[in-house]
Amino acid sequence: MGKYDFIKKGNVLFWYDPDNGQSDGVYQVVSVPEVIEDDSIILIAASCSEAEVYPTELSPINSGRSYKGAFLQWKTEREANGKVFYDRLAEVMDTDCEMKVGDMVIFTNDAGLVFGPYEVLAFEKPDNNKDRCIYIDHDSYWCSERLENLLLVQKGSEL
């Protein structure tokens, strides 16, 4: 296994901008050479910018551990008690966002730390005017997240 095996076209990575961190953040790999060396140029892009970077400036942001099985068991127990889960965000709130189960998102917590990408597992109707309604495959799978803390980076398979 090579030290840059995590750099593949389409992967979402964190870029540590060597220019005093001005553009640090989550980017998607647009193009990558067949063989990656320390001085190779990788093209990355975010919603409104792109950059040519060295592979040494990139790092993966996914822990690789899945909690999907635990979530599905937890979900089944809640459904047995009458809780309802949904497959699309539009089923729980008025939105133009077409997010659905199986999509991949980047999560930014309230302190600005970036994690993911994570798979969207389910949606619920927000309770008591709270805006937490999206369950993702992370270590706090039982705690729904706010749409504003998620960035859709890859569409999953159609339901």
The pLDDT value recorded for residue 114 is 75
The pTM of the full predicted model, rounded to 2 decimals, is: 0.66
**HEC string for 76-95:** HHHHHCCCCCECEHHHCCCC
Band of the pLDDT at 75, cuts 50, 70, 90? very high
High-pLDDT (> 70) share of the chain, % = 94
Least Cα distance to 45 among 20, 9, 19 occurs for 9
**pLDDT over 60 (residue 159):** no
Q: How far apart are CA 5 and CA 141, in angstroms?
A: 28
What percent of the chain is modeled with pLDDT above 90?
A: 46
Beta strands in 54-149 (DSSP E): 58-60, 104-108, 114-123, 132-136, 145-146
Question: Where along the chain do its domains lie?
Answer: 12-60, 68-154
Q: What is the pLDDT of residues 105-115, one digit of tens each?
A: 888 888 777 77
- What is the overall mean pLDDT for the chain? 87
Distance CA 105, CA 86 (A): 17
pLDDT score at 110: 81
